[in-house]
């Protein structure tokens, strides 16, 4: 379903079409409106946006948090793969925590985290990492029942050591199944991140969005939306590329 969606198939063409329509419509037809900014006013205010809102550091801060969260949650998954692929107290606990996402909105959770660690620079990174790790662990445990038995049967008969059966044969079978989960996680992390930064109001895209709403600054809001769209789309293609290049062996 996700793969067939036009937004995922051709996001850059879609963006280009949108920008073209926006340019023609809002530059020449709907000049005075409260819906979207005029293209020339966006162009003129880019310099101000860059300076007043500290655009670059904030973008790097948010982008860094997402990259850190994704990369380190994968490393943690890899590091704990043998534990996660066997039923034990640790996996039961992660499974239970993972279920909480159905009952506790991330806004509430973010509010508490910010309340406890108000001035921490690193808490956002840690929060994103924890969410990424718990989400991927839950998905991995869910998919672990769908592994092909023939690989395990053959490995047992060949007396392959247990460490390799869990650490490589089971785990590598699961990797292609995790592509969809990883793409979803990427989007979820962006949503969580922006919500978190919006509430925290210290760094990142969330802070810029907060300020642009406060000052009713439509051009900034528009530019932020475009950049987030570009980053999410690029991330989507990078993940797809990495999975196609290194994971989809079948």
Indicate the residue among 173 and 195 with the shorter CB distance to other proteins. Answer: 173
160 binds other proteins (CB under 8 A): yes
99 binds other proteins (CB under 8 A): no
CB of 184 to other proteins, least distance (A): 23
Structure tokens at 97: 């925590």
Q: What's the CA gap between 249 and 246, in Å, rounded?
A: 7
- Residue matched to tokens 């089971």: 170
Task: Please answer whether residues 69 and 133 qualify as being in contact, where contact means their C-beta atoms are separated by less than 8 angstroms.
Answer: no
149 binds other proteins (CB under 8 A): yes
159 binds other proteins (CB under 8 A): yes
148 binds other proteins (CB under 8 A): yes
Residues in contact with other proteins, counted by CB under 8 A, come to a total of 17
Q: Is the dihedral of CA 22, 27, 31, 33 positive or negative?
A: positive
Closest CA to 224 of 46, 19, 34, 66: 46
150 binds other proteins (CB under 8 A): yes
Structure tokens at 62: 């948010």
172 binds other proteins (CB under 8 A): yes
**Interacting residue ranges for other proteins, rule: CB under 8 A:** 148-151, 153-154, 156-161, 164, 169, 172, 249-250
């Amino acid at each position: 379903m996700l793969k067939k969606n036009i937004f995922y198939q051709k996001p850059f063409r879609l963006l280009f079409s949108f920008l073209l329509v926006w340019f023609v419509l809002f530059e020449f037809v709907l000049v005075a409106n409260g819906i979207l900014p005029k293209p020339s006013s966006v162009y003129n205010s880019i310099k101000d946006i860059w300076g007043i809102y500290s655009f670059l550091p904030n973008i790097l801060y948010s982008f860094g948090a997402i990259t850190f969260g994704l990369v380190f949650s994968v490393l943690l998954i890899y590091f704990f793969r043998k534990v996660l692929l066997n039923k034990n107290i640790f996996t039961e606990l992660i499974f239970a925590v993972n279920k909480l996402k159905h009952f506790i909105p991330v806004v509430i959770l973010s509010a508490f985290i910010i309340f406890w660690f108000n001035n921490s620079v690193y808490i956002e990174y840690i929060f994103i990492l924890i969410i990424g790790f718990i989400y991927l662990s839950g998905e991995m445990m869910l998919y672990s029942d769908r592994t092909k038995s023939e690989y395990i049967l053959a490995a047992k008969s060949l007396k392959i050591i247990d460490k390799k059966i869990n650490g490589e044969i089971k785990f590598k079978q699961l990797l292609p199944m995790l592509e969809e989960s990883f793409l979803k996680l990427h989007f979820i992390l962006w949503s969580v991140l922006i919500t978190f930064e919006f509430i925290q109001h210290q760094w990142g895209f969330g802070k810029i969005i907060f300020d642009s709403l406060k000052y009713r600054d439509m051009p900034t809001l528009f530019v932020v939306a475009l950049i987030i769209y570009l980053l999410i789309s690029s991330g989507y293609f990078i993940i797809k590329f990495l999975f196609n290049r290194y994971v989809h062996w079948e």
